């Protein structure tokens, strides 16, 4: 059950041995000890983690996090609706792409991958384009590691009576927030992110009154958000189609371990310490961060690639992997960079070991 290396990525990520052990038993999807005692408990815990306010519910969806984003976009917006998308990275762009596939009219704001959206521009668009019904925002844009100013963005959207969809894929469970207080209508995340489970399903925590409006609006059978939620509500946790049972049981264990750690606040503090240790260590070796410090999230950090002519990411990657660490290639259009994640079953001592491994892997400095 031991891992050969740490996954320093934004998910899938390194999980605890006990989370992986939880997948060693088979489950029947008709039994109460699975549906009531695991699935329904997960749904309740997720809702309570997301908000202290009443009127919210949750639904689990098979597939990747993107499938849950598509289920939400495809179910929440009527044929006459229009979506405003904030795109400052690959995942904002993906939301716009999903809307395009589903023939949903969109207005895209694209300030660039290393810039936060201009609030005055958004306010102007919302005032002028009265056809907009929904606003979609990515909380932590893992293209760069940027944390978007969701509080101000959501406040603007609500001033204009818009429904808010938040992609909190890589932030929920790792950054404290109350989606009810913020005014979020649909919040989307995934099992294999800050809760520290394994891949296999995503989930949506939503205002129940908004979710109920989705009835009959789904643009896909398997990604019909309302039908999935209604089935779970009526049948006490039963999924419409085959449930990823082993992944679900691992996620249940991961939720228990989040509680044991001290909740989201404690996990946020650990991730922040990881990120601070990482940046300080990498800078001591001569690496430069892509973003200014005030734009960083505690989730993942982008670094410019060394400018040395002998540097190649693949060789650097392999040297780190040999020492027990896996990092991520860059995803920014106009910058040569790579990314290192701070989330998962990873601790400051692991980051300190990583810095030593990076120093050993800097073959171009040996020339």
* Contact call for residues 117 and 141 (beta carbons, < 8 A): no
Dihedral pair phi/psi, residue 150, rounded to 5°:
-65, -35
d(C-alpha 189, C-alpha 327), whole Å: 22
Task: List, as one string, the DSSP characters of 300-326.
Answer: EEEEEPP--TT--HHHHHHHHHHTTEE
Whether the bond between 12 and the residue before it is cis, its omega within 30 degrees of 0, is yes
d(C-alpha 70, C-alpha 222), whole Å: 11
339 annotated ligand-binding residue: yes
3-state secondary structure 103-166: CCEEEEECCCCCCCCCHHHHHHHHHHCCCCCEEEEECEECCCCEECCHHHHHHHHHHCCCEEEE
Q: How far is CA 168 from CA 141, 194, 283, 284, 309, in A?
A: 9, 10, 28, 32, 38
Pairing outcome for strands 82-86 and 134-138: parallel
Q: Which residue numbers belong to the known binding site for substrate?
A: 339
């Amino acid at each position: 059950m031991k891992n050969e290396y740490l996954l320093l990525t934004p998910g899938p990520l390194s999980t605890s041995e006990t989370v992986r052990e939880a997948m060693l038993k088979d489950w029947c999807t008709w039994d109460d000890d699975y549906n009531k005692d695991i699935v329904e408990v997960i749904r309740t815990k997720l809702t309570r983690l997301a908000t202290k306010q009443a009127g919210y519910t949750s639904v689990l969806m098979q597939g990747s996090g993107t499938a849950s984003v598509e289920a939400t976009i495809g179910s929440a917006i009527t044929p006459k609706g229009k979506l405003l998308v904030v795109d400052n990275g690959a995942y904002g762009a993906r939301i716009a792409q999903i809307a395009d596939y589903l023939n949903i009219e969109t207005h895209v704001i694209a300030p660039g991958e290393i810039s936060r959206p201009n609030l005055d521009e958004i306010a102007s668009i919302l005032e002028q384009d009265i056809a907009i019904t929904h606003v979609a925002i990515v909380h932590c844009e893992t293209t760069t590691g940027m944390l978007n100013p969701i509080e101000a963005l959501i406040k603007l959207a609500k001033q204009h009576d818009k429904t808010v969809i938040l992609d909190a894929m890589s932030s929920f469970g790792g950054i404290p927030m109350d989606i009810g207080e913020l005014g979020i209508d649909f919040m989307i995340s995934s099992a294999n992110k800050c809760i520290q489970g394994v891949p296999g399903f995503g989930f949506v925590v939503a205002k129940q009154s908004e979710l109920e409006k989705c009835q009959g609006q789904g643009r896909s059978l398997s990604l019909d958000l309302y039908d999935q939620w209604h089935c779970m509500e009526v049948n006490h946790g039963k999924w419409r189609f085959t449930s990823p049972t082993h992944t679900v049981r691992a996620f249940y264990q991961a939720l228990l371990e989040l509680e044991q750690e001290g909740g989201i606040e404690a996990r946020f503090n650990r991730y922040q310490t990881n990120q601070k240790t990482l940046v300080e260590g990498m800078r001591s070796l001569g690496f430069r961060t892509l973003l200014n410090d005030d734009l960083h999230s505690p989730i993942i950090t982008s670094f410019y690639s060394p400018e040395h002519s002998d540097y190649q990411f693949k060789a650097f990657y392999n040297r780190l992997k040999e020492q027990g660490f896996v990092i991520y290639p860059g995803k920014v259009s106009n910058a040569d960079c790579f990314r290192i994640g701070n989330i998962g079953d990873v601790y400051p001592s692991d980051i300190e070991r990583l810095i030593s491994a990076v120093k050993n892997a800097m073959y171009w400095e040996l020339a």
